[in-house]
Amino acid sequence: MSDIINILPDSVANQIAAGEVVDRPASAVKELLENAMDAGSSSIQLIVKDAGRTLIQVIDNGCGMSDSDARLCFERHATSKIQRADDLFAIHTMGFRGEALASIAAIAQVELRTRQTGADIGTRVVIEGAQIVSQEPTACPMGTTMTVKNLFFNVPARRNFLKKDAVELSHIEETFRRITLIHHDIGFSLTHNGKKLYDLSAGSMLQRICGLFGQPMKERLYAVEEETDLVKIRGFASRPEYSRKTRGEQYLFVNGRFIKHPALSAAVEKAYTDLLPDHSYPSYFIGLQVDPSRIDVNIHPTKTEVKFVDDHALFAILRSAVKRAIGQFSLATELSFDTPEEFNIPPAPKGYTPQQPRISYNPDYNPFRASGSQTKIKPDQLERLEKLENIEEPEPLASPQEPERPVAPATGTCLQVQNRYIVTPLSSGLALIDQQRAHERVLYDRLTQSHNHAATQSQTLLFPVNCTFSAADAEMLGELLHDLKDYGFELSPLNQTTFVVTATPADLKEADLQPFFDQLLSDYKSATLQKFNNRTHSLCASLARQMAVRTGTVLSQEQMQQLVADLFACPMADTSPSGKRIITIVKPEELLK
């Protein structure tokens, strides 16, 4: 019998192993930035083209490499960071496996230029698909420049698996945020297709957060600080009133590394118990420092999970630190900025005297009169309605047959229950309508149609409002300006990160535009990534969600009737744009019971 086992050539073995470390441009970015930090750099530039497909370049001013190290660094398991197995339990660097450069060089065309501190001349190595093409002396600045071109040029399957540029770029940006947030003492920049998205100078963590997420962050956060024998905690958590509808801005770090740790995240959220509305989440940026021997980071290179020896104690310490921070007014946020002009409080107009707030009420109001804006309901009715509310919503796709379409009411009297539901009689029973979802549907339909006709009414603001964003959000907003105009918004860029809003749609009752746009962009990003692959629909869904009347808003009889009439004019009156049920019908026989 003939032998059938071969030892794979190094190039093939490397290519296979490379897939473990580098699965998309963002993971190559992570490895290169970590190497630059491990080299002790104080300034690191990241330059990418086509979301990292054609170019990823990292320029650092760190310690550089000798001629022979410049060649050796591309070998698998070549590392200067650990020497023995014991070192694994006291890791002080970001890298330690010695696999990253070997992996990247196996699947891309790489050029390394490096000059060691004190050396007269540097060295240039070119390596392609794990084969060294050339090495020669070269004049170059101190530090290292790693240039990675055409990632996956020899692995078409992997290349074809990459997502749209917008998605790959958002992974790169997220990687960039995860690294730069906690290493705020190092200057970083990110340039994409020739445009500088971030230019972050070394500074405090709060300055770094503002550099990444926009200046308004500095008024929205409390400092979180704690020091015990087990752990040192430093970071920021959002004031409860600035919670968000998505879990976007939640960052935990351990010993300078971004981690995902559901139990520790839960500890932070627990600190906000009873302070946040339903389905709202705090933002936080919190770094923990623990003894390296008490954690295990020796798991998969692209994973962010970490194991702690003392996780129960850490949970309790973290929760109480956040609790204390949000329970007490902290001046730390204001004090770490020494540029007073950053505080942009407009002066009161001349001759303006502040007024005592007044409460107005209607002395003739009689809750039992039919024309009153709110009608009182009897306790037993309320109980019945409460039971209804607790009925589980069916999975949107669970029922195979077409749902029975409700027949429009003759816009009879409506009743508002719990400032959340509108109850109105139909020929088929009693309709219970979720006001927020209903309005979302009406606005969504109106917006998607008006996009074709550019017919939305706009109102000019008496005082234009400035809104400031992170560079990446500002860029996204810039791309949406034209579409937003169709919906009645007038915005123009003031500088790279600030826009001035001069008009909004007449429908928009929102007083505070900054949180409106922040949430709009965050919704738009998740809508784009998840449900809608059409930009107009993503934008309309996000706008409708932002502009809809909220649960808890008291509606007048006219407003309710208008909303019900508008809703029944929509072709898909029974589901909201995000697929939630709007109307529940209580059948006459159920009412009889």
Chain residues in the site for ligand ADP (CB under 6 A): 31, 35-36, 39, 60, 62-65, 73, 78-81, 95-102, 144
Nearest alpha carbon to residue 330 among 185, 231, 206:
206
Q: Please identify, among the stretches 33-41, 110-118, 392-400, 446-454, the one whose residues bind Mg ion according to the rule CB under 5 A.
A: 33-41
Tokens of 314: 């850490």
Residue nearest to Mg ion (CB): 95
Cα(436)–Cα(432) distance, integer angstroms: 12
Q: Which entry of Mg ion, ligand ADP, none binds 222, CB below 5 to 8 A by partner kind?
A: none
Q: Which entry of Mg ion, ligand ADP, none binds 62, CB below 5 to 8 A by partner kind?
A: ligand ADP
DSSP 8-state assignment for residue 123? E
77 or 84: whose CB is closer to Mg ion?
Answer: 77
CB of 99 to ligand ADP, least distance (A): 6
- Check binding of 175 to Mg ion (CB under 5 A): no
CB of 179 to ligand ADP, least distance (A): 14
23 or 475: whose CB is closer to Mg ion?
Answer: 23
CB of 15 to Mg ion, least distance (A): 19
CB of 75 to ligand ADP, least distance (A): 8
CB of 566 to ligand ADP, least distance (A): 59
Cα(408)–Cα(431) distance, integer angstroms: 10
CB of 38 to Mg ion, least distance (A): 7
Angle between helices 513-530 and 471-486 (to 10 degrees): 90
Coil vs helix vs strand at 124: strand
Sign of dihedral through CA atoms 247, 253, 257, 261?
negative
Q: Please identify, among the stretches 92-100, 227-235, 517-525, 568-576, the one whose residues bind Mg ion according to the rule CB under 5 A.
A: 92-100
**Dihedral over alpha carbons 236, 237, 242, 243 (to 10 degrees):** 140
**Dihedral over alpha carbons 22, 28, 30, 31 (to 10 degrees):** 80
Residue nearest to ligand ADP (CB): 95
100 or 417: whose CB is closer to Mg ion?
Answer: 100
Coarse DSSP helix, strand, coil percentages of the chain, rounded to the nearest 5 percent? 35, 25, 40
Tokens of 382: 């309320």
Site for Mg ion in 243-262 (CB under 5 A): none
Q: Are 62 and 187 in contact (CB under 8 A)?
A: no
24 or 545: whose CB is closer to ligand ADP?
Answer: 24
100 or 288: whose CB is closer to ligand ADP?
Answer: 100
CA distances (Å), 349 to each of 148, 219, 352, 353, 513, in order? Answer: 57, 24, 6, 9, 21
CA distances (Å), 200 to each of 151, 211, 588, in order? Answer: 27, 6, 65
100 or 206: whose CB is closer to Mg ion?
Answer: 100
| Bridge partners of residue 251, in order along the sequence | 285
CB of 117 to ligand ADP, least distance (A): 10
44 or 317: whose CB is closer to ligand ADP?
Answer: 44
Q: Which entry of ligand ADP, Mg ion, none binds 97, CB below 5 to 8 A by partner kind?
A: ligand ADP
Q: Are 214 and 243 in contact (CB under 8 A)?
A: no
Cα(384)–Cα(263) distance, integer angstroms: 39
**Dihedral over alpha carbons 460, 461, 464, 468 (to 10 degrees):** -90
Nearest alpha carbon to residue 168 among 277, 1, 27:
27
Q: Please identify, among the stretches 29-37, 375-383, 406-414, 548-556, the one whose residues bind Mg ion according to the rule CB under 5 A.
A: 29-37
71 or 384: whose CB is closer to ligand ADP?
Answer: 71
100 or 443: whose CB is closer to Mg ion?
Answer: 100
CB of 553 to ligand ADP, least distance (A): 55
Identify the helix (H) or strand (E) that includes residue 468.
strand 458-468
Spell out where 15-63 has E strands. 43-49, 55-60
Site for Mg ion in 94-123 (CB under 5 A): 95, 100
- Check binding of 35 to Mg ion (CB under 5 A): yes
The string of DSSP codes covering 5-19 is: --PPPHHHHHHHHHH
CB of 31 to ligand ADP, least distance (A): 6
Q: Please identify, among the stretches 30-38, 287-295, 340-348, 523-531, the one whose residues bind Mg ion according to the rule CB under 5 A.
A: 30-38
Q: Which entry of ligand ADP, Mg ion, none binds 96, CB below 5 to 8 A by partner kind?
A: ligand ADP
Nearest alpha carbon to residue 93 among 154, 15, 174, 34:
34
99 or 168: whose CB is closer to ligand ADP?
Answer: 99
DSSP 8-state assignment for residue 33? H
CB of 38 to ligand ADP, least distance (A): 6
CB of 99 to Mg ion, least distance (A): 8
CB of 90 to ligand ADP, least distance (A): 15
Cα(474)–Cα(212) distance, integer angstroms: 11
Spell out where 180-259 has E strands. 187-192, 195-200, 221-227, 231-238, 250-254, 257-259
66 or 344: whose CB is closer to ligand ADP?
Answer: 66
The string of DSSP codes covering 275-294 is: TS-TT-B--EEEEEEE-GGG
105 or 205: whose CB is closer to ligand ADP?
Answer: 105
Q: Please identify, among the stretches 89-97, 120-128, 304-312, 358-366, the one whose residues bind Mg ion according to the rule CB under 5 A.
A: 89-97
Q: Which entry of ligand ADP, Mg ion, none binds 73, CB below 5 to 8 A by partner kind?
A: ligand ADP
Q: Which entry of Mg ion, ligand ADP, none binds 52, CB below 5 to 8 A by partner kind?
A: none
Applying CB under 5 A, which residues contact Mg ion?
35, 95, 100
